[in-house]
């Protein structure tokens, strides 16, 4: 494999890896946001229930 071909191969692999890393970061951010949203919803429900706004069924 010539040096130019090897260099181009490394550039393309590097670009693919950066794209995959960016996708994984986005996935982790979305999952963390969903998890935080679930936590905040539960906290809001507990707070309203504790203050007597929700009636037990």
Mean pLDDT across 9-26: 97
For position 35, what pLDDT does the model report?
A: 86
For position 47, what pLDDT does the model report?
A: 59
b/e per residue 11-43 (b: at least 16 CB within 10 A): eeeeeeeeeeeeeeeeeeeeeeeeeeeeeeeee
For position 11, what pLDDT does the model report?
A: 97
SS (H, E, C) the chain: CCHHHHHHHHHHHHHHHHHHHHHHHHHHHHHHHHHHHHHHHHHHHHHHHHCCCCCCC
The answer to whether residue 6 scores a pLDDT higher than 80 is yes
């Amino acid at each position: 494999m010539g040096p130019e071909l090897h260099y181009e191969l490394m550039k393309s692999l590097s670009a693919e890896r950066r794209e995959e890393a960016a996708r994984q970061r986005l996935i982790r951010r979305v999952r963390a946001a969903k998890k935080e949203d679930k936590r905040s919803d539960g906290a809001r429900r507990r707070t309203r229930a504790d203050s007597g706004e929700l009636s037990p069924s």
